[in-house]
């Protein structure tokens, strides 16, 4: 094999490895928005399905939002998680199950979302028992039914 061919193969390998790592940095992205069509204060998309070990990135496209796991809305053994306002935030999902979350100031205004990890819905009954208020209460059943 000619040496420049070897060089080309090694370079291609290095770049593809590098690219794969960049892609793996976030396996799914959710945008935090003030407005989307006729909706205000939204996570887009509202439902994300990922594998165990995957990372979700929430992008602070607009200001005034965050991500907070809902108490009793995550699989057993998962700790609290509450991000800072106006900041992009990542979370690596290590425990399978359903994760329900909201944006703290807009939790009653429909800014709720769900992550299903490892196609595991064993905590669905606990998720159905969560108490949402106002606009979120109207939206939650349809979302939960489509998990």
Q: How far apart are CA 53 and CA 49, in angstroms?
A: 12
> Rule CB under 5 A: which residues touch Cu ion?
41, 65, 103, 106, 111
> Of 41 and 136, which has the nearer Cβ to Cu ion?
41
Q: Ramachandran region of residue 18, left (φ > 0), alpha (ψ -120 to 50) or beta?
A: alpha
> Of 96 and 105, which has the nearer Cβ to Cu ion?
105
CB-closest chain residue to Cu ion = 103
Q: Are 40 and 109 in contact (CB under 8 A)?
A: yes
Q: How far apart are CA 68 and CA 101, in angstroms?
A: 5
> Of 68 and 120, which has the nearer Cβ to Cu ion?
68
Q: How far is the CB of 41 from Cu ion (least distance, A)?
A: 5
Q: How far is the CB of 109 from Cu ion (least distance, A)?
A: 7
Q: How far is the CB of 58 from Cu ion (least distance, A)?
A: 11
Q: How far is the CB of 125 from Cu ion (least distance, A)?
A: 27
In 3D, which of 57, 116, 53 has the Cα closest to residue 88? 57
> Of 41 and 123, which has the nearer Cβ to Cu ion?
41
How far apart, in Å, are the Cα atoms of 126 and each of 20, 35, 99? Answer: 36, 30, 10
């Amino acid at each position: 094999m000619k040496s420049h061919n070897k060089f080309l193969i090694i370079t291609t390998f290095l770049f593809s490895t590098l690219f794969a790592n960049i892609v793996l940095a976030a396996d799914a992205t959710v945008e935090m928005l003030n407005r989307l069509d006729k909706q205000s204060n939204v996570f887009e998309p509202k439902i994300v399905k990922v594998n165990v070990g995957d990372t979700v990135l929430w992008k602070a496209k607009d200001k005034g939002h965050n991500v907070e796991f809902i108490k009793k809305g995550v699989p057993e053994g998962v700790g609290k998680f509450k991000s800072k306002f106006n900041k992009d935030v990542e979370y690596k999902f290590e425990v399978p199950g359903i994760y329900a979350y909201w944006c703290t100031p807009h939790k009653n205004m429909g800014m709720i979302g769900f992550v299903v990890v490892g196609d595991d819905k064993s905590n669905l009954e606990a998720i159905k028992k969560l108490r949402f208020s106002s606009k979120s209460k109207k939206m939650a059943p349809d979302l939960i039914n489509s998990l």
